[in-house]
């Protein structure tokens, strides 16, 4: 079924897409349908982050289903809020769409956004829809709440702090390589003939198309009474984020290649593609894992936490930011990030 967006009109479309939204947070007083939303954060600090996703730059609809795109668009914003040791509570979603998209397409996009919201207890409180001359454009702003004194910035890392990461790295990047390869293989074929074989590589595809924001890690740290000294989410790659933390905290760092957590599917595919596994893990990006530092005294406690790996430590700034390879050679970290981020 295909309903033309013009049939509903702007306000009809917003109504249609948001009519049965229910709130999760007592701080959400008024949502979609007025000039602005009304929130009440008394006693908490308010966290705000925003992300702009553009077709052809941040996503390729050839292989990204709209539901997944919606889910991921919301998740990457939640991830930024968790990375402040806070909890996402509201989002606003603005979309620009060309005539190529139908109401059903946007329902799929919103279904993904709302699934992410439901899983993370976030309320969709506003937004804007508009025509676009070209591709799809998604802008999400996420608001969250943090406890006074427990919000974690990039700037608090201190000499001797331990550097930790959650989960594993490089898988989302390898998933992207895989999707790009299949896209090239199937270029020019009819849609019904395309049967990509991702057997044994599902994890990589899922990490790229349906990343998760590490709410569980934030909750785990809270349970253990751990407040990191600095924290970021890994969106542009570990190297890039380590450099951000070191610069913001005026310190150096030393991380060890052998401690970087990598899934075996990532390692297998890097070998198949003849790519450097460490480069994929250090610079791949889009893992949305958490990178954080904790005081050295917490070594025993943190080393026992499941899903968290200590990968190195913070040093004096004059020692620089280095990766120690398996051969014991120190290599200066380079921020490469993602090409699409300019």
Q: Which of residues 65-94 bind its own copies (CB under 8 A)?
A: 80-81, 83-84, 86, 90, 92, 94
Residues 6+ apart with CB under 8 A from 242: 163, 253, 255, 291, 321, 333
Shortest CB 211 distance to its own copies, Å:
15
Least distance from C-beta 135 to its own copies, angstroms? 7
The Cα–Cα gap between 261 and 284 comes to 13
Closer by beta carbon to its own copies, 69 or else 204: 69
Q: Rounded to the nearest whole angstrom, what is the least distance from the CB of residue 37 to its own copies in the complex? A: 5
Nearest-angstrom CA–CA distance, 194 and 188? 10
19 binds its own copies (CB under 8 A): no
Tokens encoding 103: 């109401």
Q: Which is nearer to its own copies, 5 or 260 (CB)?
A: 5
Report if residue 276 touches its own copies, rule: CB under 8 A: no
In the complex, minimum distance from the CB of residue 327 to its own copies, in angstroms, rounded to a whole number: 31
Distance CA 113, CA 330 (A): 43
CB of 145 to its own copies, least distance (A): 10
Q: Which residues inside 243-272 make contact with its own copies, applying CB under 8 A? A: 244, 248
Neighbours of 309 (CB within 10 A): 18
Residue 92 β-bridge partners: 126, 141
Query: By the 8 A CB rule, do 281 and 291 touch?
Result: no
Interface map 134-163 toward its own copies (x if CB under 8 A)? xx-x-x-xxxx-x-x--x-xxx--------
Strands of the sheet containing 330-332, edge to edge, are 230-233, 290-294, 162-166, 308-315, 252-256, 321-324, 330-332
**Nearer CB in complex with its own copies: 101/173:** 101
Report the residue number, 63 or 292, with the smaller CB distance to its own copies: 292
Q: Which residues inside 119-138 make contact with its own copies, applying CB under 8 A?
A: 125-135, 137
Nearer to its own copies, 141 or 265 (CB): 141
**Which among 56-64, 66-74, 112-120, 326-334 is the span making contact with its own copies, rule CB under 8 A?**
56-64
Residue 34: how many CB atoms within 10 A of its CB? 9
Give the nearer residue to its own copies in terms of CB position, either 40 or 271: 40
Work out whether 340 is an interface residue with its own copies (CB under 8 A): yes
- What is the rounded CA–CA span in Å between residue 183 and residue 60? 10
In terms of CB distance, is 131 or 331 closer to its own copies? Answer: 131
Footprint on residues 33-52 left by its own copies (CB under 8 A):
33-43, 45-52
- Tell which one of 184, 187, 199, 342 touches its own copies (CB under 8 A): 342
CB of 51 to its own copies, least distance (A): 5
Taking the least distance from each CB to its own copies, the nearer of 134 and 303 is 134
Residue selected from 3, 16, 21, 57 as contacting its own copies according to rule CB under 8 A: 57
Instruction: Determine phi and psi for 256, rounding to 5 degrees.
Output: -110, 125
Report the phi/psi class of residue 316: left, alpha or beta, with left for phi > 0 and alpha for psi in -120 to 50: beta
Token pair in block for residue 267:
């390692």
176-235 residues near its own copies, rule: CB under 8 A: 232-233
262-296: burial string, b at 16+ Cβ within 10 Å, e else: bbebbbebbeeeebebbbbbbbbbbbbbbbbbbbe
Q: How far is the CB of 224 from its own copies (least distance, A)?
A: 22
- Which helix (H) or strand (E) segment holds residue 84: the answer is none
């Amino acid at each position: 079924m295909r309903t033309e967006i013009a049939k509903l009109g702007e306000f009809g479309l917003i109504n249609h897409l948001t009519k049965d939204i229910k709130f999760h947070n007592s701080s959400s007083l008024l949502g979609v349908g007025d000039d602005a939303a009304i929130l009440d954060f008394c006693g908490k600090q308010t966290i705000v982050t925003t992300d702009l996703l553009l077709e052809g730059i941040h996503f390729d609809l050839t292989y990204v289903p709209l539901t997944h795109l919606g889910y991921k668009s919301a998740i990457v914003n939640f991830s930024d809020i968790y990375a402040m040791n806070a909890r996402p509570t509201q989002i606003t979603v603005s979309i620009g769409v060309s005539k190529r998209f139908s109401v059903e397409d946007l329902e799929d996009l919103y279904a993904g956004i709302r699934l992410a919201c439901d899983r993370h207890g976030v309320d969709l409180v506003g937004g804007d829809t508009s025509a676009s001359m070209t591709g799809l454009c998604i802008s999400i702003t996420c608001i969250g709440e943090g406890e006074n004194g427990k919000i974690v910035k990039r700037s608090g890392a201190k000499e001797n702090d331990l550097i930790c990461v959650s989960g594993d790295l490089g898988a989302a990047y390898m998933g992207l390589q895989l999707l790009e390869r299949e896209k090239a293989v199937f270029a020019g074929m009819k849609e019904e003939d395309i049967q990509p074989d991702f057997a044994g590589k599902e994890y990589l595809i899922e990490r790229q198309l349906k990343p998760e924001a590490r709410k569980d890690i934030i909750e785990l740290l809270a349970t253990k009474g751990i407040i990191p000294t600095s924290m970021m989410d890994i969106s542009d790659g570990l190297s890039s984020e380590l450099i951000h933390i070191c610069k913001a905290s005026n310190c150096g760092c030393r991380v060890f290649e052998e401690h970087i957590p990598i899934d075996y599917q990532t390692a297998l595919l890097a070998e198949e593609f003849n790519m450097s596994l460490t480069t994929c893990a250090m610079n791949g990006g889009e893992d949305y894992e958490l990178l954080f530092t904790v005081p050295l005294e917490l070594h025993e406690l943190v080393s026992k936490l499941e899903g968290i790996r200590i990968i190195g430590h913070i040093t004096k700034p004059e020692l620089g930011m280095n990766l120690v390879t398996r051969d014991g050679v120190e290599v200066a970290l380079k921020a490469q990030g993602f090409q699409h981020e300019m």
